Amino acid sequence: MTAAGAALATTLTCAPFERADRRGGTRVVMRCESERALVDFDPEGLDVRERDAFVRLADRGIADLEGLLAPSGAVPPRTERIRYVVSRRVDMSRAYGRTVLLPLERVKSQSAPYLHETVHALLRTPHRSTWLSEGLACYLESWVAENVGGYDAHVFTRAGDHGIHEAARRYLRTPPGREVLPWVGAPGEPPSLEEDRAGVARPFYVLAHSFTKYLVDRLGLGAVVRLTTGADPEQALEALSGREVAAWRAEWLSRGESSRSSGARAGARAPSLRSSPRARSATRGGP
């Protein structure tokens, strides 16, 4: 049985559970557990079918992502389940350690970025290079949804992995895209990233996804995962490839039209797990 099939067949149990809240009191949630996921739901808002469907979806997502991340050798085996909190009290999807917070309405409408946040829960990123930690989470969310299973929340773009370079090209023609570009490939993050989700976060996440995908297509997923889990991704990229980050960025930005057609012909394929910096014979282009 495949990992996805095993996730779908996993045993699932649900029961009311009393847990402490931040104010020092307690609240009752509906706790559902599977092999890989532990999910606390608000007691109201989702019916039994919707709760069960999400737990199985999360369990399968964990299995699919671990299957892609494990060969890198940079992700220690998980020793505990990933915990999800699905609640109307959550205003924005986030991950804190092994806990993922998701707005209940997004789960109900199947627009929650559960795969994206699960990547954050599985990967430790001890650096300030937001472009890479967010870019890889965006890349894996879209790639898994398009090629393995689950869904892409399309929080910032509906382009998906197959169309992300074209979306990046469009943003690079706009002032917001050009304003966030200096933080793609460099430590730190644009000002107001958290506050201005449409004007700052949207173009930044699209460009970060595109640049990360460009690196994965050339270096392999395993190499990019190792960069993501290191303390200084930019320095590690230069050491791995023998090229400065500025050269990688310039190549990504210059590809444009010349490689769009080759990307369209390439079709769906599993991300490469090679660590060699040698370029693929048929690569997908940049913005």
Q: What is the pTM of this model?
A: 0.87
98/142 same-domain check: no
Using CA of residue 212, residue 221, residue 74, residue 76, what is the dihedral sign? Answer: positive
User: What is the SS3 assignment for 84?
Assistant: strand
The helix (H) or strand (E) run that includes residue 210 is helix 202-219
Whether residue 285 is contained in a domain is answered as no
Q: Could you give the CA distance from residue 81 to residue 77 in angstroms, rounded to a whole number?
A: 11
60/136 same-domain check: no
Q: What percent of the chain has pLDDT over 90?
A: 82
138/259 same-domain check: yes
Query: Please, are residues 65 and 77 in contact by the beta-carbon 8 Å criterion?
Result: no
The confidence score (pLDDT) of residue 23 equals 79
Both tokens of residue 112?
Answer: 């929650």
- Nearest Cα neighbor of 72 from 276, 273, 280, 277 is 273
Mean pLDDT of 37-64: 97
67/101 same-domain check: yes
pLDDT tens, 232-284? 999 999 999 999 999 999 999 998 544 444 443 334 444 543 333 333 323 33
Whether residue 245 is contained in a domain is answered as yes
What CATH number has the domain bearing residue 95? 3.40.390
The confidence score (pLDDT) of residue 256 equals 56
Q: How many structural domains are present in the chain? A: 2
pLDDT tens, 149-189? 999 999 999 999 999 999 999 999 999 999 999 999 999 99
- pLDDT exceeds 80 at position 287: no
Residue range of the domain that includes 191: 130-266
Encoded amino acid at 251, one letter: E
Whether residue 271 is contained in a domain is answered as no
Q: Could you give the CA distance from residue 240 to residue 215 in angstroms, rounded to a whole number?
A: 12
Encoded amino acid at 272, one letter: S
